[in-house]
Amino acid sequence: MSCVSRRDIVAVTPWLAPIVWEGTFDSHLIDNIYRPQNITIAATVFAVGKYIRFLQDFLLTAEQHFFIGYRVVYYVFTDKPEEVPHVNMANNRKLNVVSVPSSNRWQEISARRMELIQTLIEEKLRNHADYIYCLDVDSKFHGPWGAESLGHLVAVIHPGYYGGTRSKFTYERRSVSRAYIAEGEGDFYYCGGAFGGSLKGVHTLADTCRWNFEADAAEGIEAAWQEESHLNRYMWINKPTKVLSPEYLWQDFKPRTPELKIIRFSGVIKNYADIRPNE
């Protein structure tokens, strides 16, 4: 067993879902469970407008760390299909490009991801993948992200909020929005930049967030953090069956804290004014 006990972190939620931290699982044992199942993992990543510049490092590092030894299919959504870099991949891994329109508002690009993920699952993935992870492109893998992360509905605790109190969480606080979470309610603050689960789990999530987002928009409401706010509301009502620690989405600008024994995936430092269409 490669597991050591950890006393410095909480490894289970109050609804008895695991919270995955380095040192709380045995990856060899977990691979022995999942490898024989011959599963396929889909990964979606959006690279619209200037965000195409992040795609190469994302893919190169994913090829070193993301579900190594498993069948992986990347779906790259972009308005610049001709600029998708060529990255060498193992035989059991491939990349599909999906063309999407560009947009003048970063909020719309970020928010439309739910609709496109829902459609992808309905039109392409059923019977072709078992699990799906939806990841921000402006990030790199630095350590293994594997089958320990699998579950029906998987959320990642946002690195900016895991140590703080609930009152500091940037949930949508206006009750007119369908992303509303009242003061004193909510569990964790989860990232919009990484989430996943079974096809069914993510389809229901994407479908619900999309409709709530669009119903808000029809009334002129945009939640504080767009789809991240809707995702947080969804995860509060439909508890994730597995929660990933901030090892699974850190931010390069944040100093490393003692609990963090490994960084698996981390957002690069970026200058918003330089890369977003409107800022």
225 binds ligand UD2 per the rule CB under 6 A: yes
Span from 2-10, 59-67, 197-205, 224-232 in contact with ligand UD2 (CB under 6 A): 224-232
Spot the catalytic one: 22, 148, 228, 247: 228
Distance separating alpha carbons of residues 198 and 149, to the nearest angstrom: 11
227-250 CB burial, b ≥16 within 10 A, e <16: bbbbbbbbbbeeebbbbbbbbbbb
Q: Least distance (Å) from ligand UD2 to the CB of residue 202?
A: 15
Report the nearest approach of ligand UD2 to the CB of residue 105 (Å): 9
Does residue 246 interact with ligand UD2 by CB under 6 A? no
Among 22, 130, 138, 187, binds ligand UD2 (CB under 6 A): 138
Closest residue to ligand UD2, based on beta-carbon distance:
192
Is 205 in contact with 152 (CB distance < 8 Å)?
no
| HEC string for the chain | CCCCCCCCCCCECCCCCEEECCCCCCHHHHHHHHHHHCCEEEEEEEECHHHHHHHHHHHHHHHHHECCCCEEEEEEEECCHHHCCCCCCCCCEEEEEEECCCCCCHHHHHHHHHHHHHHHHHHHHCCCCCEEEEECCCEEECCCECHHHCCCEEEEECCCCCCCCHHHCCCECCCCCCCECCCCCCCCCEEEEEEEEEHHHHHHHHHHHHHHHHHHHHCCCCCCCHHHHHHHHHHHHCCCCEEECHHHCEECCCCCCCCCCCCCEEECCCCHHHHCCCC
- The reply to whether 109 sits near ligand UD2 by the rule CB under 6 A is yes
Q: Work out which of 73, 249, 260, 263 binds ligand UD2, going by CB under 6 A.
A: 249
Site size toward ligand UD2, by CB under 6 A = 22
Using CB under 6 A as the binding rule, whether residue 226 contacts ligand UD2 is answered as yes
Smaller CB distance to ligand UD2: residue 6 or 276? 276
**Sign (positive/negative) of CA torsion 249, 253, 258, 261?**
positive
Q: Is 172 known to be catalytic?
A: no
Rule CB under 6 A: say whether 47 interacts with ligand UD2: yes
Q: Interacting stretch for ligand UD2, rule CB under 6 A, among 32-40, 123-131, 185-193, 206-214?
A: 185-193
Question: Considering only residues 21, 25, 51, 74, which one is a binding residue for ligand UD2 as defined by CB under 6 A?
Answer: 51
Q: Which of 62, 100, 110, 201 is in the footprint of ligand UD2 by CB under 6 A?
A: 110
Does 170 belong to an annotated binding site?
A: yes
Q: 158 a known binding residue?
A: yes
Of 41, 120, 129, 136, which lies in the binding site for ligand UD2, with binding defined by CB under 6 A?
136
In the window 13-42, what residues touch ligand UD2 (CB under 6 A)? none
Q: Is 138 annotated for ligand binding?
A: yes
Q: Which residues bind ligand UD2 (CB under 6 A)?
A: 46-49, 51, 106, 109-110, 136-138, 191-193, 225-228, 249, 267, 276-277
The residues carrying an active-site annotation are 228
